[in-house]
Amino acid sequence: MLNKAKALQSQMVTWRRDIHMHPELGFEEQRTSALIAEIMNGLGYRVRTGVGKTGVVAELGDGKPIVAIRADMDALPIQEANQVPYKSKNDGVMHACGHDAHVAIAMGIAKLLTDEEFSGTVRFLFQPSEETDDGEFSGAPRMIEDGAMEDVDNVLALHVDASTPTGEIEVATEFASAGVDTLYATIIGQGGHGSAPHEVIDPIFISGYVILALHGIVSRKLKPSDPAVISIGSIHGGVADNVIPVEVELLGTIRYFTADVQEKLHTEIKKAIEISRTLGGDYKMKIEVGFPPMHNHPDVVALVKKVAGELLGEDKINPPEPDMGAEDFAYFLQKAPGAMFMLGCEIEGDTRRHHDPKFDIDEACFPIGAAILAESTLRLLGMIKN
């Protein structure tokens, strides 16, 4: 399978660079969806467009079992700084996380599977808007809402990883990424002149204590064995040096792996923000629940490891370092057992990472990712005994 995938290397690179030059933000992937639909139709797949707004579902085969392969396709609001022939042509938009590669690899897998005989159905999920939401949901739950996971027995995905050498993969058993919630808080005081702070209730002063309390939750309120993160990423308050404002707005991210820790974090965050009232002010607070933790199924992980070991060698399979990033593939894994693995794509000697304006990848990883997912899909479909 790896040799077959290597024969498609140049085609996958062409697809990826085309998509890279024409990046589109979440739920705006009109050109990308049209390109995918055209190619998948040409390969003989049954294609449905407009799934989850701008997603594409493509199927080959009939009946059960059904194995789904997911590839996200949205770009980021970043101005590309690379000087390459395939540089983004859309100002302020860039594929800086590798979703262009995910689409290209998935279409390579689709091509590989047209040459195989198997029982059951393979279903490709070309997903919009992994990076953002529409004010309520990201692309995965929107596709699920439109029936993309109906009757699916297993679901697979990969994500390129610019910190892992090409030729290696990382795959986690069980928790593969964190759940993420968003904190919105407004610290309310009473504004006035900066020369007379004793006559006001200073929300900036109060915010300092609130932030210290928030940052103390993980180290002082949780067990050391419970991974979690609370980070304040945005603070806004005031417009002049000599005016104490009425309000300060805080925006933060909350990361966790289990429901118990999530509940504890929410409780302690409310207590921390209530310090505002102790110091004479007030507050408004909302916690928006986001992506759930991503839970790889141990049996599917074992299969992916077995396939990767046969194709690459067992020494090329690594456990990932603990990471509190989030991934909306988690929603698909709530509907069917499956797994995502990280595909090494590091350019040797390069320190650029995901979401960097100069992000790029080693395209030599494409056949590796395609071969692992194609072979794993066939085994899940029962063509080869595990």
Q: Where do the domains of the chain lie, and which CATH numbers do they carry?
A: 2-177+293-381 (3.40.630.10), 179-289 (3.30.70.360)
Res 386: pLDDT: 47
Give the number of other CB atoms < 10 A from CB of residue 272. 22
Paired with 243 in beta bridges are 193
Residue 46, classified by CB atoms within 10 Å of its CB into exposed (0-12), middle (13-18) or buried (19+), is middle
- Which amino acid would we find at residue 2? L
What would the two tokens of residue 314 be?
Answer: 């067992």
Q: How many CB atoms lie within 10 A of CB 354?
A: 16
Q: How far is Cα 159 from Cα 107, in angstroms, rounded to an integer?
A: 15
Q: Is 118 helix (H, G, I), strand (E, B) or coil?
A: coil
Predicted TM-score of the model (pTM): 0.93
Q: How far is CA 254 from the centre of its chain?
A: 15
Residue 22 and residue 31 in contact, taking contact as beta carbons nearer than 8 Å: yes
pLDDT in the model for residue 4: 98
Beta strands in 216-365 (DSSP E): 228-236, 243-244, 247-256, 282-289, 294-296, 317-318, 338-346
The count of C-alpha atoms lying within 13 angstroms of the C-alpha of 37, restricted to the half-sphere facing its C-beta, is 15
Closest CA to 120 of 383, 386, 381: 381
Catalytic residues: 74, 130
Structural contact between residues 23 and 97, judged by C-beta atoms closer than 8 angstroms:
no
Per-residue CA distances from 185 to 253, 269, 277, 315, 374 (Å):
12, 10, 13, 47, 46
Tell me, what's the pLDDT at 350? 87
Give Cα separations from 46 to 56, 65, 78, 180, 212 (angstroms).
Answer: 10, 17, 34, 35, 55
User: What is the per-residue pLDDT for 62?
Assistant: 97
What is the C-alpha separation between 331 and 140, in angstroms, rounded? Answer: 6
**How many CB atoms lie under 10 A from the CB of residue 362?**
18
List average pLDDT for each run of 10 residues in the chain, which is 386 residues long.
98 98 98 98 98 98 98 98 97 98 98 97 98 94 98 98 96 93 98 97 98 98 96 97 98 97 98 98 97 96 98 96 92 98 94 93 98 98 69
Cβ contacts of 238-244, under 8 Å, gap ≥ 24: 238/204, 241/194, 242/193, 242/194, 242/195, 243/191, 243/192, 243/193, 243/194, 244/189, 244/191, 244/192, 244/193, 244/194, 244/197, 244/200, 244/202, 244/203, 244/204
Cα end-to-end span (Å), the chain: 16
Closest to 121 in 3D by CA, of 382, 386, 385, 384: 382
Neighbours of 148 (CB within 10 A): 28
Closest CA relative to residue 19, chosen from 70, 65, 61, 73: 73
CB 170 within 8 A of CB 319: yes
